[in-house]
Amino acid sequence: MSGIILKDLDVWFGQGANRVDAVKNANFAVPLGESFGLVGESGSGKSTILRAITGLAETWSGTIIIDGKTLGHKRDSEFYKTVQMVFQDPYASLHPRHTVDQVLSETLSLHGFDDIENRIDKLLLDVGLGPSFRFRYPHQLSGGQRQRVAIARALAPEPRILLLDEPTSALDVSVQAEILNLLTDLRAQRGLTFLMVSHDLSVVSHMCSRMAVMQNGYIVEILSVEDMRGQNASHPYTRHLLASSLGFTSSEAAQ
């Protein structure tokens, strides 16, 4: 059973002469339980695909099927219970005047949960924050702690599919590893499906089993992580990405 299916997805911004086609003719399918990566350079349309799925980008055409349901342009609350998203920058994704408690209790009440008190404590424990963090404001938290709160918020409706928009790119390296391990653990515990955007091939190869490589709005290649590790890319752009991620020391290996 497929979790996410995209067929002929086009996403654009603006109209007429100002129209920018951010994603062109994207096709891929992610089975439930899989972790799928989207890689490419800045502006290649990776994040735009996530925004089209969540409804934040409203101008799109094609077919998006989530968990067997074809999406229209309006999303219902059932959709938000199935799909949640973690944003790139934890410094921008938490309301500056809301405590962790407010963020989580509002999310839970919007999804119609009762027993909010216990659920908040449990969510905080699940993402590795103790109850002492519950009444803090975002400015009293570090970047990694903020991202944990953002992950707790995304997990609150108990979604089956999590969209991750470069969840570690705003964090420093040691914290990146913690957050990635947390995400890996949560996925194993809850059987989540990940669709993860990153420009960092090592992150994607750590987290995902397959990935799509994007360039200028097109998906140029879909390959497995084994193929990537074995340098079995067929498209020249993918080979170029692999070569540049290997750096100077082993550049001959990319030949």
Partner 1 sequence: MSQTDLAAPTQGTGWRAWLLSDTPTSRRHAKVASLYQSWLQFRGNPMAMFGLMILVALVLIAAFASFISPYDPFVQELGNRLQPPGAEGHILGTDSLGRDLLSRIIYGSRITLYIVTLVAIIAPLIGLFVGTVAGYAGGFLDVVLMRITDIFLAFPRLVLALAFVAALGAGIENAVLAISLTAWPPYARIARAETLTIRNSDYIHAVRLQGAGALRIITKHIWPLCISSLIIRVTLDMAGIILAAAGLGFLGLGAQPPSPEWGAMVSDGRKFILDHWWVATIPGLAIFIVSLAFNLLGDGLRDVLDPKESGE
Q: Is 110 in the site for partner 1 (CB under 8 A)?
A: yes
Q: Is 87 in the site for partner 1 (CB under 8 A)?
A: yes
Residue nearer to partner 1 on the CB measure, 93 or 205 = 93
Report, in Å, the least distance between residue 101 CB and partner 1: 6
Indicate which single residue of 97, 114, 174, 255 sits in contact with partner 1 (rule: CB under 8 A). 97
With contacts defined by CB under 8 A, how many residues of the chain interact with partner 1?
34
Q: Is 69 in the site for partner 1 (CB under 8 A)?
A: no
Q: Is 67 in the site for partner 1 (CB under 8 A)?
A: no
Integer Cα distance of 168 and 171 in angstroms? 5
Q: Is 21 exposed, middle or buried (0-12, 13-18, 19+ CB in 10 A)?
A: middle
Residue nearer to partner 1 on the CB measure, 26 or 108 = 108
Which residues within the stretch 152-181 sit at the binding site for partner 1 (CB under 8 A)? 153, 157
Integer Cα distance of 248 and 244 in angstroms? 8
Q: Is 198 in the site for partner 1 (CB under 8 A)?
A: no
Indicate which single residue of 9, 85, 123, 183 sits in contact with partner 1 (rule: CB under 8 A). 85
Q: Is 253 in the site for partner 1 (CB under 8 A)?
A: no
Q: Is 95 in the site for partner 1 (CB under 8 A)?
A: yes
Report, in Å, the least distance between residue 212 CB and partner 1: 22
Residue nearer to partner 1 on the CB measure, 85 or 179 = 85
Site string for partner 1, 120-159 (x = CB under 8 A): ------------xx-xxx--x---------x--x---x--
Contact positions vs partner 1 (CB under 8 A): 54-56, 75-77, 80, 84-85, 87-89, 92-97, 99, 101-102, 106-107, 110-111, 132-133, 135-137, 140, 150, 153, 157
